[in-house]
Amino acid sequence: MIENQAKKQKHREDLRLAILEAAKKLFVQEGYEATSIRKIAKEIGFSPTTIYLYYRDKNDIAYALHQEGFLLLRDRFMALMSVDNPFERLKAIGRNYIDFAFQNPDYYQVMFMMKEPMTFLDMHCVEEEWPEGKRVLDFLLGTVQECQAAGLFTNMHPSLLAFQAWSTVHGLVTLYITHHLSKITETFAIDFNAKELVSQTFEQYISFLDRIK
């Protein structure tokens, strides 16, 4: 009954996917903390312990959501492959990264701000380090290297510049997401709201790069 076994296998994958879909629904509606195993179970109509037949633990689910987020981000970045000018593409990557974080703060959280998916990688996926992160960073690094091939940022280490660009936008969006920024905007004495402050500061960073290139 090989055919039947294949059907069983398919059913297994279906339920695993149904769990993920339920988790995603709760996650985007109410955030990670409010997404409990029991709520996911109720959503799919199974008992809570069934979840553990398809996912090791909650960190496993966190990592699955983490991967889902990276699929969304990859779609955005794929669209930027058509931008030929590498410096223009670098700017576009930054703007899209910020926009992604604004539009999907919960995904951003599980992708770049939570330790749970990382500890899951540590515990159960020894072969590769962090494939999702690596892919995104490679795209960024490649763009920086293309900039250098075009004669820009020539006296810099490409990895250091890529990492700086990443941590710059990461710093901006995390301060926004954690609500630290909205509590401090009037200290800065500009009539920007928090989102505008993020965007304007990124544009200023771009102008830094422009003057340094």
Partner DNA sequence: TTTATTTACTTAACACTGTTAAGTAGTTTT
Partner DNA sequence: AAAACTACTTAACAGTGTTAAGTAAATAAA
Where do contacts with its own copies occur on this chain (CB under 8 A)?
112-115, 118-119, 121-122, 129-130, 133-134, 137-138, 141, 156-157, 159-164, 166-172, 174-175, 178-180, 183-184, 186-190, 197, 200-201, 204-205, 208, 211-212
Contact of 105 with 177, CB cutoff 8 Å: yes
Contact of 140 with 166, CB cutoff 8 Å: yes
CA dist 89 → 94, 102, 110, 123, 144 (Å) = 9, 20, 26, 36, 9
User: Which residue, 52 or 192, has its beta carbon nearer to its own copies?
Assistant: 192
Please state the separation of Cα 18 from the chain's center in Å. Answer: 22
Token pair 């926004």 in the structure block, residue: 176
Q: Indicate whether 38 belongs to the interface with DNA (CB under 7 A).
A: yes
Q: Indicate whether 11 belongs to the interface with DNA (CB under 7 A).
A: yes
> Other CB atoms closer than 10 Å to residue 202's CB: what's the count?
20
User: Which residue, 11 or 157, has its beta carbon nearer to DNA?
Assistant: 11
User: Which residue, 72 or 125, has its beta carbon nearer to its own copies?
Assistant: 125
Residues that bind DNA (CB under 7 A): 1, 4-5, 8, 11-12, 15, 35-39, 46-50, 52-53, 57-59
